[in-house]
Structure 1
């Protein structure tokens, strides 16, 4: 199945999409590609906000974008690998049966699948600035990400096929 089709299907049933993606076996190259695509989407989602900030403060846009690139494309993946490991260990303590790869895929897929909502949030921050609209779309993006991640993690750790 296509990645775009799976992203759309994730909004209807995140656990079933992740189980189907995991049925292809452990492929760390796919996990890394999904992670980097998700981090890349988060970076692109920051562009409108960074452009607004640059215009309002007079700070050079390239400097702001360089900082966001470093944070989101180089440092965030390392943090997410650690977070996936911690979430897997916690799941094992409460009876989870999956492996580390499944926990990583649950987190990485949630990040990529929630990308459209993060893009919406970035547009809202760029066009409306800080305010209740941006806070609402930010909470929506966070909620969608957490929903996808927890539903995927539960599906993976229960070991359904």
Structure 2
């Protein structure tokens, strides 16, 4: 099934999609690579979603930083720093899940978080479009919706990932 179709299915049935992702990772010869692709693609989409905001920001607000520097910093942050922080967050969530009785693997916890990042990343594009309208009320509503979607989907995926031990490597 195409990734885009799975992303749309995740909004309706996140645990079912996560169960399918974990099952397919058991058949994969390099399951960790798939998770890395998910997080990198999600972070790339999020970085792209920040471009309109960075272009429209007045230079006075960020000092004398040229547009190329602002774009470079944003892309570096989202493509190199954010994935590392997400690996740490996945490890922390797995440890906390273990404390409360989780039985999954570290790989399953990473897959849950990385899939959530990819799933929510298209909402950042919507957020970018709303930001261009220069009205604070819809921007706040969309940002709240993105945050809520992230928390709900990640929670559901993490519950599924920690529900039972998987055969994938940790």
TM-score, with structure 2 as normaliser: 0.88
User: Could you tell me which residue of structure 2 aligns to residue 143 of structure 1?
Assistant: 148
Which of 87, 94, 100 is 1:94 aligned to?
100
Structure 2: runs of 5+ lacking an equivalent: none
C-alpha deviation, 1:56, in angstroms? 7.6
User: What is aligned with 2:54?
Assistant: 50
CA RMSD of aligned residues (A): 1.9
Q: Distance in 2 between matches of 1:129 and 1:56?
A: 18
CA contact (8 A) 2:38 2:118 kept: yes
Give 4+ residue runs of structure 1 displaced > 2 Å after superposition. 54-60
Cα distance in structure 1, aligned partners of 2:99 and 2:135: 40
Q: What is the 5 A alignment of 1:80-159?
A: 80-125=86-131, 127-129=132-134, 131-159=136-164
Following TM superposition, by how much is the alpha carbon of 1:60 offset from its aligned partner in structure 2, in angstroms?
Answer: 2.3
Q: How many residues align?
A: 160
Cα shift readout 1:54-100 (whole Å, capped 9, x = no counterpart): 57857522111111011111100000000000000000000001000
8 Å Cα contact 1:54-1:61 kept in structure 2: no
**DSSP-derived class of the 1:114 partner:** helix
Q: Which moved more, 1:7-16 or 1:127-136?
A: 127-136
Gaps of 5+ in 1: none
